Structure 1
Amino acid sequence: MQQGFLRTVVFRDEVEPDWDNYPFSIPAVRQLGGLAFDPKVTFFVGENGSGKSTIIEALAAVLGMNPEGGSKNLRFATRSSESNLHEVLRTVRNARREQTEFFLRAESYYNVATALEEHNSTGFYGGSPHEQSHGESFLNLVLHRFGPQGLYLLDEPEAALSPQRQLSFLARMHELVEQDSQFIIATHSPILMAFPQATIFLFSEDGIEEVEYEETDHYQLTRDFLNHRERYFQHLFE
Protein backbone atom coordinates (compact mmCIF):
# COMPACT_ATOMS: atom_id res chain seq x y z
CA MET A 1 0.00 0.00 0.00
CA GLN A 2 1.37 3.39 -1.00
CA GLN A 3 2.34 5.51 2.03
CA GLY A 4 3.11 8.80 0.38
CA PHE A 5 5.83 11.16 1.57
CA LEU A 6 3.91 13.90 3.36
CA ARG A 7 1.56 12.74 6.12
CA THR A 8 0.30 15.90 7.78
CA VAL A 9 1.10 19.51 8.65
CA VAL A 10 1.01 20.99 12.17
CA PHE A 11 1.71 24.31 13.85
CA ARG A 12 5.06 24.59 15.58
CA ASP A 13 4.74 24.58 19.37
CA GLU A 14 7.35 27.27 19.90
CA VAL A 15 5.65 29.90 17.72
CA GLU A 16 2.36 31.65 18.47
CA PRO A 17 0.56 32.77 15.27
CA ASP A 18 -1.08 36.19 15.15
CA TRP A 19 -4.61 34.88 14.72
CA ASP A 20 -6.11 38.35 14.21
CA ASN A 21 -4.13 39.15 11.07
CA TYR A 22 -3.64 37.69 7.58
CA PRO A 23 -3.06 34.89 6.79
CA PHE A 24 -3.89 33.42 10.19
CA SER A 25 -7.34 35.05 10.20
CA ILE A 26 -8.39 32.87 7.23
CA PRO A 27 -10.72 30.14 8.59
CA ALA A 28 -8.96 27.37 6.66
CA VAL A 29 -5.58 28.42 8.06
CA ARG A 30 -6.99 28.32 11.59
CA GLN A 31 -7.97 24.67 11.06
CA LEU A 32 -4.84 23.68 9.16
CA GLY A 33 -3.05 21.97 12.04
CA GLY A 34 -3.31 18.21 11.80
CA LEU A 35 -4.60 18.12 8.23
CA ALA A 36 -3.82 14.62 6.92
CA PHE A 37 -2.85 14.26 3.27
CA ASP A 38 -3.88 11.44 0.98
CA PRO A 39 -0.84 9.30 0.15
CA LYS A 40 -1.72 9.64 -3.53
CA VAL A 41 -3.81 12.71 -4.47
CA THR A 42 -5.19 15.53 -2.31
CA PHE A 43 -7.26 18.39 -3.73
CA PHE A 44 -7.84 21.80 -2.15
CA VAL A 45 -11.06 23.35 -3.50
CA GLY A 46 -13.05 26.45 -2.60
CA GLU A 47 -13.82 30.01 -3.60
CA ASN A 48 -11.21 32.65 -4.33
CA GLY A 49 -9.74 33.94 -1.10
CA SER A 50 -10.46 30.77 0.86
CA GLY A 51 -6.76 30.10 1.47
CA LYS A 52 -5.98 27.33 -1.04
CA SER A 53 -3.04 29.04 -2.71
CA THR A 54 -1.76 30.57 0.52
CA ILE A 55 -1.58 27.16 2.18
CA ILE A 56 -0.08 25.26 -0.75
CA GLU A 57 2.55 28.00 -1.15
CA ALA A 58 3.39 27.71 2.56
CA LEU A 59 3.71 23.92 2.24
CA ALA A 60 6.14 24.36 -0.63
CA ALA A 61 8.26 26.76 1.43
CA VAL A 62 8.31 24.45 4.47
CA LEU A 63 9.40 21.58 2.22
CA GLY A 64 12.28 23.65 0.85
CA MET A 65 10.88 24.38 -2.61
CA ASN A 66 11.14 27.77 -4.25
CA PRO A 67 8.09 29.89 -3.21
CA GLU A 68 7.65 31.26 -6.75
CA GLY A 69 7.68 27.76 -8.18
CA GLY A 70 10.29 25.20 -9.00
CA SER A 71 12.24 22.64 -7.00
CA LYS A 72 14.72 22.63 -4.15
CA ASN A 73 17.52 23.15 -6.66
CA LEU A 74 15.92 25.88 -8.79
CA ARG A 75 16.24 28.99 -6.63
CA PHE A 76 15.32 32.48 -7.83
CA ALA A 77 13.21 35.43 -6.73
CA THR A 78 11.62 38.16 -8.82
CA ARG A 79 9.22 39.65 -6.26
CA SER A 80 8.76 38.12 -2.82
CA SER A 81 5.01 37.91 -2.15
CA GLU A 82 4.61 34.82 0.01
CA SER A 83 2.98 35.09 3.43
CA ASN A 84 4.76 34.22 6.67
CA LEU A 85 2.55 31.17 7.21
CA HIS A 86 5.44 28.81 6.51
CA GLU A 87 7.31 30.22 9.49
CA VAL A 88 4.86 28.66 11.97
CA LEU A 89 4.39 25.28 10.27
CA ARG A 90 6.21 21.98 10.27
CA THR A 91 5.44 18.85 8.31
CA VAL A 92 5.14 15.29 9.53
CA ARG A 93 6.67 12.94 6.97
CA ASN A 94 7.06 9.26 6.37
CA ALA A 95 10.51 7.72 6.61
CA ARG A 96 10.66 7.19 2.84
CA ARG A 97 11.78 10.28 0.93
CA GLU A 98 10.75 11.44 -2.53
CA GLN A 99 13.22 11.13 -5.40
CA THR A 100 12.14 14.42 -6.95
CA GLU A 101 9.81 17.32 -6.22
CA PHE A 102 8.26 20.37 -7.87
CA PHE A 103 6.01 23.29 -6.95
CA LEU A 104 3.97 24.64 -9.86
CA ARG A 105 2.29 28.03 -9.52
CA ALA A 106 0.28 28.92 -12.59
CA GLU A 107 0.59 32.65 -11.99
CA SER A 108 4.39 32.65 -11.78
CA TYR A 109 5.38 29.89 -14.19
CA TYR A 110 6.64 32.55 -16.63
CA ASN A 111 9.25 33.46 -14.01
CA VAL A 112 10.20 29.79 -13.66
CA ALA A 113 10.63 29.54 -17.43
CA THR A 114 12.94 32.57 -17.43
CA ALA A 115 15.03 31.09 -14.60
CA LEU A 116 15.31 27.80 -16.48
CA GLU A 117 16.68 29.55 -19.55
CA GLU A 118 19.18 31.47 -17.43
CA HIS A 119 20.37 28.18 -15.90
CA ASN A 120 20.41 26.37 -19.28
CA SER A 121 18.09 23.73 -17.81
CA THR A 122 15.29 23.68 -20.37
CA GLY A 123 16.30 20.26 -21.72
CA PHE A 124 14.61 18.60 -18.77
CA TYR A 125 11.36 20.43 -19.54
CA GLY A 126 10.77 19.47 -23.16
CA GLY A 127 12.48 22.59 -24.45
CA SER A 128 12.17 26.24 -23.50
CA PRO A 129 8.72 27.03 -22.04
CA HIS A 130 8.97 30.49 -23.62
CA GLU A 131 9.03 28.87 -27.07
CA GLN A 132 5.83 26.93 -26.46
CA SER A 133 2.26 27.91 -25.76
CA HIS A 134 1.32 28.20 -22.11
CA GLY A 135 -0.62 24.95 -22.25
CA GLU A 136 2.12 23.08 -24.09
CA SER A 137 4.74 24.18 -21.58
CA PHE A 138 2.57 23.08 -18.64
CA LEU A 139 1.96 19.67 -20.14
CA ASN A 140 5.60 19.20 -21.15
CA LEU A 141 6.61 20.04 -17.60
CA VAL A 142 4.49 17.15 -16.33
CA LEU A 143 5.61 14.81 -19.12
CA HIS A 144 9.35 15.52 -19.01
CA ARG A 145 10.23 16.99 -15.61
CA PHE A 146 7.92 14.99 -13.33
CA GLY A 147 9.06 11.47 -12.58
CA PRO A 148 8.38 8.43 -10.37
CA GLN A 149 8.43 8.69 -6.58
CA GLY A 150 7.90 12.43 -6.73
CA LEU A 151 6.17 14.92 -4.44
CA TYR A 152 4.28 17.51 -6.48
CA LEU A 153 2.47 20.62 -5.25
CA LEU A 154 0.38 22.32 -7.93
CA ASP A 155 -1.52 25.59 -7.69
CA GLU A 156 -4.31 25.79 -10.30
CA PRO A 157 -2.56 23.79 -13.04
CA GLU A 158 -5.72 23.98 -15.15
CA ALA A 159 -5.13 27.70 -15.76
CA ALA A 160 -3.37 27.02 -19.07
CA LEU A 161 -4.95 23.70 -20.02
CA SER A 162 -7.88 23.14 -22.36
CA PRO A 163 -10.39 20.47 -21.31
CA GLN A 164 -8.67 17.97 -23.62
CA ARG A 165 -5.26 18.82 -22.16
CA GLN A 166 -6.69 18.45 -18.65
CA LEU A 167 -7.62 14.88 -19.57
CA SER A 168 -4.06 14.33 -20.82
CA PHE A 169 -2.81 15.72 -17.53
CA LEU A 170 -5.01 13.25 -15.61
CA ALA A 171 -3.60 10.37 -17.63
CA ARG A 172 -0.03 11.41 -16.81
CA MET A 173 -0.91 11.97 -13.17
CA HIS A 174 -2.32 8.43 -13.02
CA GLU A 175 0.95 7.06 -14.41
CA LEU A 176 2.95 8.92 -11.78
CA VAL A 177 0.66 7.90 -8.93
CA GLU A 178 1.08 4.28 -10.02
CA GLN A 179 4.83 4.94 -9.75
CA ASP A 180 4.50 6.00 -6.08
CA SER A 181 4.19 9.76 -6.58
CA GLN A 182 2.11 12.03 -4.34
CA PHE A 183 0.16 15.10 -5.51
CA ILE A 184 -1.33 18.02 -3.56
CA ILE A 185 -3.33 20.27 -5.89
CA ALA A 186 -5.30 23.48 -5.45
CA THR A 187 -7.85 23.67 -8.25
CA HIS A 188 -11.16 25.02 -9.52
CA SER A 189 -11.42 22.41 -12.26
CA PRO A 190 -14.27 19.86 -11.97
CA ILE A 191 -12.35 17.75 -14.50
CA LEU A 192 -9.16 17.50 -12.45
CA MET A 193 -10.83 16.99 -9.09
CA ALA A 194 -12.69 13.98 -10.51
CA PHE A 195 -9.49 11.94 -10.26
CA PRO A 196 -10.59 8.55 -8.85
CA GLN A 197 -10.34 8.00 -5.10
CA ALA A 198 -8.68 11.35 -4.43
CA THR A 199 -9.22 13.15 -1.12
CA ILE A 200 -10.98 16.49 -1.55
CA PHE A 201 -10.79 19.21 1.11
CA LEU A 202 -13.27 22.08 0.81
CA PHE A 203 -11.98 25.42 2.08
CA SER A 204 -14.74 27.81 3.17
CA GLU A 205 -15.72 30.34 5.83
CA ASP A 206 -16.31 27.35 8.10
CA GLY A 207 -12.74 26.13 7.76
CA ILE A 208 -11.72 22.84 6.13
CA GLU A 209 -14.06 19.92 5.45
CA GLU A 210 -13.48 16.68 3.57
CA VAL A 211 -16.17 16.23 0.90
CA GLU A 212 -17.09 13.88 -1.89
CA TYR A 213 -16.65 14.97 -5.49
CA GLU A 214 -20.39 15.17 -6.12
CA GLU A 215 -20.78 17.45 -3.09
CA THR A 216 -18.55 20.19 -4.48
CA ASP A 217 -20.07 23.35 -5.91
CA HIS A 218 -17.73 22.93 -8.87
CA TYR A 219 -19.38 19.66 -9.87
CA GLN A 220 -22.95 20.71 -9.07
CA LEU A 221 -22.78 24.12 -10.75
CA THR A 222 -21.05 22.79 -13.88
CA ARG A 223 -23.53 19.91 -14.22
CA ASP A 224 -26.53 22.17 -13.73
CA PHE A 225 -25.23 24.85 -16.07
CA LEU A 226 -24.60 22.37 -18.88
CA ASN A 227 -28.05 20.85 -18.43
CA HIS A 228 -29.95 24.12 -17.98
CA ARG A 229 -27.82 26.88 -19.46
CA GLU A 230 -30.80 28.85 -20.87
CA ARG A 231 -32.26 29.10 -17.38
CA TYR A 232 -28.94 30.41 -16.08
CA PHE A 233 -28.69 32.96 -18.87
CA GLN A 234 -32.22 34.17 -18.19
CA HIS A 235 -31.38 34.71 -14.54
CA LEU A 236 -27.94 36.25 -15.18
CA PHE A 237 -29.04 38.63 -17.94
CA GLU A 238 -32.24 39.94 -16.35
Structure 2
Amino acid sequence: MTSAHGRFIQQVRLAPGVDDSRYPFSLPAVRQLAGSGTLVLPPGVTFLVGENGAGKSTLIEAIAVAAGFNPEGGSRNFRFATRATESELGDHLILAWGIRKPRTDFFLRAESYYNVASEIERLNVAGGRPLLPAYGGVSPHERSHGESFLDLATHRFGPAGLYLLDEPEAALSVQSCLALLARMHELVAQGSQFLVATHSPVLLALPGATIMEISDDGGLEQVEFDQALPVRLTREFLGAPGRFLKNLLGTGEIDDARSSWH
Protein backbone atom coordinates (compact mmCIF):
# COMPACT_ATOMS: atom_id res chain seq x y z
CA MET A 1 0.00 0.00 0.00
CA THR A 2 2.74 2.48 0.90
CA SER A 3 4.97 4.31 -1.55
CA ALA A 4 8.64 4.97 -0.82
CA HIS A 5 8.08 8.49 -2.12
CA GLY A 6 5.38 9.20 0.48
CA ARG A 7 7.75 9.94 3.33
CA PHE A 8 8.29 13.66 3.53
CA ILE A 9 8.66 14.11 7.30
CA GLN A 10 10.90 11.27 8.44
CA GLN A 11 11.62 12.09 12.09
CA VAL A 12 10.42 14.44 14.81
CA ARG A 13 12.72 15.42 17.70
CA LEU A 14 12.33 17.69 20.70
CA ALA A 15 15.06 20.27 21.15
CA PRO A 16 17.06 19.72 24.36
CA GLY A 17 16.78 21.85 27.45
CA VAL A 18 13.00 22.26 27.80
CA ASP A 19 11.30 22.36 31.20
CA ASP A 20 9.16 19.21 31.27
CA SER A 21 7.37 20.28 34.45
CA ARG A 22 5.18 22.79 32.61
CA TYR A 23 2.60 22.63 29.81
CA PRO A 24 2.86 21.55 27.03
CA PHE A 25 6.11 19.72 27.82
CA SER A 26 4.46 17.92 30.74
CA LEU A 27 1.96 16.14 28.45
CA PRO A 28 2.50 12.37 28.22
CA ALA A 29 3.17 12.43 24.47
CA VAL A 30 5.74 15.20 24.80
CA ARG A 31 7.46 13.65 27.82
CA GLN A 32 7.77 10.43 25.84
CA LEU A 33 9.28 12.33 22.92
CA ALA A 34 11.75 13.97 25.28
CA GLY A 35 12.69 10.59 26.74
CA SER A 36 12.97 8.59 23.52
CA GLY A 37 14.54 11.41 21.57
CA THR A 38 12.88 10.70 18.22
CA LEU A 39 9.47 9.92 16.72
CA VAL A 40 10.05 8.06 13.45
CA LEU A 41 7.35 8.53 10.82
CA PRO A 42 7.21 5.78 8.17
CA PRO A 43 5.76 6.23 4.67
CA GLY A 44 1.99 6.18 4.30
CA VAL A 45 -0.28 6.72 7.29
CA THR A 46 0.68 7.07 10.95
CA PHE A 47 -2.13 7.23 13.50
CA LEU A 48 -1.71 8.62 17.01
CA VAL A 49 -4.18 7.22 19.54
CA GLY A 50 -4.66 7.61 23.29
CA GLU A 51 -6.99 9.02 25.89
CA ASN A 52 -8.03 12.68 26.04
CA GLY A 53 -5.24 14.71 27.56
CA ALA A 54 -2.46 12.44 26.30
CA GLY A 55 -1.25 15.20 23.99
CA LYS A 56 -2.14 13.79 20.54
CA SER A 57 -3.70 16.96 19.18
CA THR A 58 -1.06 19.20 20.78
CA LEU A 59 1.68 17.13 19.15
CA ILE A 60 -0.04 17.15 15.73
CA GLU A 61 -0.51 20.92 15.96
CA ALA A 62 3.11 21.45 16.97
CA ILE A 63 4.42 19.30 14.11
CA ALA A 64 2.22 21.30 11.74
CA VAL A 65 3.61 24.58 13.07
CA ALA A 66 7.19 23.28 12.84
CA ALA A 67 6.47 22.23 9.23
CA GLY A 68 5.33 25.75 8.35
CA PHE A 69 1.56 25.37 8.46
CA ASN A 70 -0.80 28.00 9.78
CA PRO A 71 -1.69 26.99 13.38
CA GLU A 72 -5.45 27.22 12.67
CA GLY A 73 -5.22 24.97 9.63
CA GLY A 74 -5.09 25.13 5.87
CA SER A 75 -2.17 24.74 3.51
CA ARG A 76 1.26 26.21 4.10
CA ASN A 77 0.14 29.19 2.00
CA PHE A 78 -2.57 30.16 4.50
CA ARG A 79 -1.56 33.07 6.71
CA PHE A 80 -4.44 34.23 8.86
CA ALA A 81 -5.10 34.36 12.59
CA THR A 82 -8.43 34.38 14.40
CA ARG A 83 -7.20 33.69 17.89
CA ALA A 84 -3.75 32.43 18.84
CA THR A 85 -4.32 29.32 20.96
CA GLU A 86 -1.44 27.12 19.82
CA SER A 87 1.16 26.00 22.33
CA GLU A 88 4.84 26.89 22.12
CA LEU A 89 5.76 23.27 21.43
CA GLY A 90 6.11 23.83 17.69
CA ASP A 91 8.99 26.23 18.33
CA HIS A 92 10.92 23.42 20.05
CA LEU A 93 10.46 20.62 17.52
CA ILE A 94 13.06 19.66 14.95
CA LEU A 95 11.82 17.89 11.82
CA ALA A 96 14.00 15.69 9.61
CA TRP A 97 12.77 15.93 6.02
CA GLY A 98 13.33 13.52 3.16
CA ILE A 99 14.89 14.51 -0.15
CA ARG A 100 11.56 14.78 -1.95
CA LYS A 101 9.19 17.61 -1.13
CA PRO A 102 5.39 17.24 -1.17
CA ARG A 103 3.55 18.57 -4.20
CA THR A 104 0.70 19.74 -2.01
CA ASP A 105 -0.18 19.84 1.69
CA PHE A 106 -2.89 20.57 4.25
CA PHE A 107 -3.35 20.72 8.01
CA LEU A 108 -6.91 19.90 9.11
CA ARG A 109 -7.94 20.90 12.62
CA ALA A 110 -11.53 19.83 13.16
CA GLU A 111 -12.11 22.47 15.86
CA SER A 112 -10.99 25.42 13.72
CA TYR A 113 -12.08 24.39 10.22
CA TYR A 114 -14.88 26.97 10.37
CA ASN A 115 -12.17 29.66 10.40
CA VAL A 116 -10.37 27.99 7.50
CA ALA A 117 -13.64 27.88 5.55
CA SER A 118 -14.08 31.61 6.08
CA GLU A 119 -10.53 32.21 4.81
CA ILE A 120 -11.25 30.07 1.74
CA GLU A 121 -14.27 32.25 0.98
CA ARG A 122 -12.21 35.43 1.43
CA LEU A 123 -9.39 34.22 -0.80
CA ASN A 124 -11.87 33.07 -3.44
CA VAL A 125 -13.03 36.68 -3.78
CA ALA A 126 -9.73 38.48 -3.19
CA GLY A 127 -7.39 36.15 -5.07
CA GLY A 128 -6.37 36.32 -8.68
CA ARG A 129 -8.11 33.05 -9.53
CA PRO A 130 -11.15 31.27 -8.06
CA LEU A 131 -10.24 29.04 -5.12
CA LEU A 132 -13.52 27.16 -4.59
CA PRO A 133 -13.05 24.68 -7.48
CA ALA A 134 -10.23 23.11 -5.45
CA TYR A 135 -12.75 22.50 -2.65
CA GLY A 136 -15.53 20.99 -4.75
CA GLY A 137 -16.87 24.22 -6.23
CA VAL A 138 -19.01 25.06 -3.19
CA SER A 139 -18.12 27.10 -0.13
CA PRO A 140 -17.53 24.86 2.89
CA HIS A 141 -20.01 27.09 4.75
CA GLU A 142 -22.72 25.93 2.34
CA ARG A 143 -22.13 22.28 3.16
CA SER A 144 -22.52 20.37 6.39
CA HIS A 145 -19.39 20.02 8.51
CA GLY A 146 -18.95 16.40 7.46
CA GLU A 147 -19.65 17.09 3.78
CA SER A 148 -17.06 19.87 3.74
CA PHE A 149 -14.47 17.52 5.25
CA LEU A 150 -15.09 14.95 2.51
CA ASP A 151 -15.04 17.68 -0.16
CA LEU A 152 -11.64 18.67 1.18
CA ALA A 153 -10.26 15.13 1.00
CA THR A 154 -11.82 14.45 -2.41
CA HIS A 155 -11.04 17.67 -4.24
CA ARG A 156 -8.27 19.50 -2.39
CA PHE A 157 -6.07 16.57 -1.35
CA GLY A 158 -3.96 15.22 -4.19
CA PRO A 159 -1.13 12.79 -5.00
CA ALA A 160 2.29 13.17 -3.37
CA GLY A 161 0.80 15.30 -0.61
CA LEU A 162 1.57 15.80 3.08
CA TYR A 163 -1.54 15.80 5.27
CA LEU A 164 -1.79 16.36 9.01
CA LEU A 165 -5.26 15.63 10.39
CA ASP A 166 -6.45 16.27 13.93
CA GLU A 167 -9.46 14.06 14.78
CA PRO A 168 -11.11 14.27 11.34
CA GLU A 169 -13.85 11.91 12.52
CA ALA A 170 -15.28 14.71 14.72
CA ALA A 171 -17.58 15.75 11.87
CA LEU A 172 -18.06 12.39 10.18
CA SER A 173 -20.64 9.64 10.36
CA VAL A 174 -19.44 6.04 10.25
CA GLN A 175 -20.24 5.92 6.53
CA SER A 176 -18.27 9.12 5.95
CA CYS A 177 -15.34 7.71 7.95
CA LEU A 178 -15.33 4.78 5.54
CA ALA A 179 -15.31 7.20 2.60
CA LEU A 180 -12.36 9.07 4.12
CA LEU A 181 -10.54 5.78 4.74
CA ALA A 182 -10.96 4.85 1.07
CA ARG A 183 -9.66 8.26 -0.06
CA MET A 184 -6.63 8.02 2.23
CA HIS A 185 -5.86 4.56 0.87
CA GLU A 186 -6.00 5.95 -2.67
CA LEU A 187 -3.75 8.90 -1.86
CA VAL A 188 -1.14 6.77 -0.07
CA ALA A 189 -0.90 4.61 -3.20
CA GLN A 190 -0.19 7.88 -5.04
CA GLY A 191 2.73 8.78 -2.79
CA SER A 192 1.06 10.80 0.00
CA GLN A 193 1.92 10.83 3.70
CA PHE A 194 -0.59 11.25 6.54
CA LEU A 195 -0.15 11.90 10.26
CA VAL A 196 -3.52 11.58 12.01
CA ALA A 197 -4.69 11.93 15.61
CA THR A 198 -7.88 9.92 15.98
CA HIS A 199 -10.29 8.06 18.26
CA SER A 200 -12.02 6.32 15.32
CA PRO A 201 -11.74 2.52 15.16
CA VAL A 202 -13.03 2.77 11.58
CA LEU A 203 -10.13 4.91 10.40
CA LEU A 204 -7.66 2.74 12.32
CA ALA A 205 -8.68 -0.20 10.11
CA LEU A 206 -6.85 1.36 7.15
CA PRO A 207 -4.67 -1.46 5.74
CA GLY A 208 -0.94 -0.90 6.12
CA ALA A 209 -1.24 2.00 8.54
CA THR A 210 1.08 2.42 11.53
CA ILE A 211 -0.72 2.89 14.86
CA MET A 212 1.21 4.59 17.68
CA GLU A 213 -0.54 4.50 21.07
CA ILE A 214 0.18 6.93 23.90
CA SER A 215 -0.43 5.44 27.33
CA ASP A 216 -1.45 7.37 30.45
CA ASP A 217 2.09 7.23 31.78
CA GLY A 218 3.51 8.67 28.58
CA GLY A 219 4.60 5.48 26.88
CA LEU A 220 4.48 5.55 23.10
CA GLU A 221 4.50 2.23 21.29
CA GLN A 222 3.37 0.77 18.01
CA VAL A 223 0.33 -1.49 18.34
CA GLU A 224 -1.71 -3.66 16.01
CA PHE A 225 -5.27 -2.76 15.08
CA ASP A 226 -6.85 -5.29 17.46
CA GLN A 227 -4.83 -3.97 20.41
CA ALA A 228 -5.47 -0.26 19.80
CA LEU A 229 -7.42 1.36 22.65
CA PRO A 230 -10.34 2.73 20.56
CA VAL A 231 -10.83 -0.67 18.92
CA ARG A 232 -10.70 -2.65 22.17
CA LEU A 233 -13.09 -0.36 24.05
CA THR A 234 -15.58 -0.13 21.19
CA ARG A 235 -15.67 -3.90 20.77
CA GLU A 236 -16.08 -4.47 24.49
CA PHE A 237 -18.91 -1.98 24.75
CA LEU A 238 -20.80 -3.25 21.70
CA GLY A 239 -20.36 -6.82 22.92
CA ALA A 240 -22.03 -6.12 26.27
CA PRO A 241 -23.55 -2.61 26.51
CA GLY A 242 -25.81 -3.64 29.39
CA ARG A 243 -22.85 -4.58 31.56
CA PHE A 244 -21.03 -1.36 30.72
CA LEU A 245 -24.08 0.76 31.48
CA LYS A 246 -24.66 -1.05 34.76
CA ASN A 247 -21.15 -0.23 35.92
CA LEU A 248 -21.25 3.29 34.55
CA LEU A 249 -24.68 4.33 35.79
CA GLY A 250 -24.80 2.26 38.97
CA THR A 251 -28.10 0.65 37.97
CA GLY A 252 -29.32 -2.88 37.46
CA GLU A 253 -28.57 -4.73 34.25
CA ILE A 254 -30.10 -2.87 31.30
CA ASP A 255 -32.69 -5.34 30.02
CA ASP A 256 -33.74 -3.95 26.67
CA ALA A 257 -32.67 -4.04 23.03
CA ARG A 258 -29.39 -2.33 23.83
CA SER A 259 -28.19 -5.27 25.95
CA SER A 260 -28.37 -7.55 22.91
CA TRP A 261 -26.24 -5.45 20.57
CA HIS A 262 -23.51 -7.42 18.85
- TM-score over 0.5 for the pair: yes
Partner of residue 123, structure 1:
133
Aligned positions of 1:1-238 closer than 5 A = 2-3=4-5, 4-13=7-16, 16-32=17-33, 33-120=37-124, 121-126=131-136, 127-207=138-218, 208-237=220-249, 238=251
- Once the two structures are overlaid, the 10-residue window that deviates more, 164-173 or 198-207, is 198-207
Q: Secondary structure at the match of 1:191?
A: helix
CA pair 142-20 structure 1, distance change in 2 beyond 3 A: same
Alignment gaps of 5+ in structure 1? none
- Once the two structures are overlaid, the 10-residue window that deviates more, 216-225 or 64-73, is 216-225
Identity of aligned residues (%): 57
Q: Name the Cα RMSD after superposition.
A: 1.2
Instruction: In structure 1, give the amino acid aligned to 2:238.
Output: L
| Pairwise CA distance, 1:26 | 1.3
| Pairwise CA distance, 1:18 | 1.6
Larger Rg computed on CA atoms: 2
- Once the two structures are overlaid, the 10-residue window that deviates more, 208-217 or 66-75, is 208-217
| Pairwise CA distance, 1:12 | 3.0
Q: How many residues align?
A: 236
Looking at structure 1, the residues matched to 72 and 214 of structure 2 have their Cα atoms a distance apart, in angstroms, of 22
TM-score (ref. length: structure 1) = 0.96
Alignment gaps of 5+ in structure 2? 125-130, 252-262
- Once the two structures are overlaid, the 10-residue window that deviates more, 189-198 or 225-234, is 225-234
- Once the two structures are overlaid, the 10-residue window that deviates more, 209-218 or 34-43, is 209-218
Q: Secondary structure at the match of 1:200?
A: strand
Partner of residue 127, structure 2:
none
Deviation sequence 1:155-188 (CA, Å, 0-9, x none): 0000111000110111111110000000000000
Deviation sequence 1:64-101 (CA, Å, 0-9, x none): 01110001111111000000001111101110110001
Deviation sequence 1:101-124 (CA, Å, 0-9, x none): 100000000000001101112221
Q: Secondary structure at the match of 1:130?
A: helix
- 4+ runs deviating over 4 angstroms: none
Instruction: In structure 2, give the amino acid aligned to 1:17.
Output: V
